[in-house]
Amino acid sequence: MSLSRKVLIVGSYNQDLSWKTSNFPYPGQTVLGTFHMNPGGKGSNQAVAAVRAGAHATFVGAVGKDPFGAAAHTFLKNEGLTIHLVEKTEAATGTAAIMVNSAGQNEIIVALGSNLLLTSEDVPDALLNEASIIICPLEAQLTTVEGIFKRAKQAGARTLLNPAPMPKHLPPEILKHTDIIVPNEGEFAQLISQIEPGFDTASILADLSTLPHQAIHQACRILKIDHVIITLGEKGVFVSSPTEYFYLPAIPVKVIDTTGAGDAFIGGLTTSLIENPNDMYKAVCFANCTAALAVTKPGAAPSFPLRPEIDALLKKHLKDKLV
Ligand code: RIB
Instruction: Answer whether 43 contacts ligand 1 (Cβ < 6 A).
Output: no
Measured in residues, the chain has a length of: 323
CA nearest neighbour of 72 among 190, 62, 211: 62
19, 35 contact by CB (below 8 A): yes
Residue with the smallest CA separation from ligand 1 atom 2 is 260
CA nearest neighbour of 209 among 160, 249, 163, 251: 249
From ligand 1's centre to the CA of 138, what distance in Å? 11
Q: State residue 319's pLDDT score.
A: 67
Spatial separation of the C-alpha atoms in residues 64 and 14, rounded to whole Å: 10
From ligand 1's centre to the CA of 164, what distance in Å? 10
Cis peptide before 39 (omega within 30 of 0): no
Residue with the smallest CA separation from ligand 1 atom 10 is 41
Burial class (CB in 10 A: 0-12, 13-18, 19+), 25: middle
46, 267 contact by CB (below 8 A): yes
CA nearest neighbour of 157 among 141, 136, 171, 142: 136
Spatial separation of the C-alpha atoms in residues 314 and 321, rounded to whole Å: 10
Instruction: Answer whether 45 contacts ligand 1 (Cβ < 6 A).
Output: yes
69, 12 contact by CB (below 8 A): no
Spatial separation of the C-alpha atoms in residues 271 and 296, rounded to whole Å: 21
Q: What phi and psi, each to the nearest 5 degrees, are found at residue 284? A: -70, -35
233, 208 contact by CB (below 8 A): no
Spatial separation of the C-alpha atoms in residues 72 and 115, rounded to whole Å: 13
From ligand 1's centre to the CA of 220, what distance in Å? 25
Number of the ligand 1 atom closest to the C-alpha atom of 95: 8
DSSP state of 71: H
Q: State residue 210's pLDDT score.
A: 64
Q: State residue 317's pLDDT score.
A: 80
Number of the ligand 1 atom closest to the C-alpha atom of 14: 8
Radius of gyration of the chain (CA): 19
Q: State residue 1's pLDDT score.
A: 44
Residue numbers annotated as active site: 263
Number of the ligand 1 atom closest to the C-alpha atom of 301: 6
From ligand 1's centre to the CA of 213, what distance in Å? 30
Instruction: Answer whether 299 contacts ligand 1 (Cβ < 6 A).
Output: no
302, 38 contact by CB (below 8 A): yes
Residue with the smallest CA separation from ligand 1 atom 8 is 41
Read off the pLDDT of residues 219-273 as tens digits, 9 standing for 90 and up. Answer: 999 999 999 999 999 989 999 999 999 999 999 999 999 999 999 999 999 999 9
Helix, strand or coil, per DSSP, at residue 77: helix
Helix, strand or coil, per DSSP, at residue 323: coil
DSSP state of 25: P
Q: For the beta carbon of residue 102, count every other beta carbon within 10 angstroms.
A: 10
**Structural domains of the chain ordered from first start:** 9-27+34-319 (3.40.1190.20)
This prediction has a pTM of 0.95
Ranges of the chain with pLDDT below 70: 1-4, 207-211, 319-323
Spatial separation of the C-alpha atoms in residues 309 and 26, rounded to whole Å: 38
Burial 250-280 (b: 16+ CB within 10 A, else e): bbeeebbbbbbbbbbbbbbbbbbbbeeeeeb
Instruction: Answer whether 14 contacts ligand 1 (Cβ < 6 A).
Output: yes
Left (φ > 0), alpha (ψ -120 to 50) or beta: where does 156 sit? left
Spatial separation of the C-alpha atoms in residues 306 and 52, rounded to whole Å: 5
From ligand 1's centre to the CA of 95, what distance in Å? 9
Instruction: Answer whether 96 contacts ligand 1 (Cβ < 6 A).
Output: yes
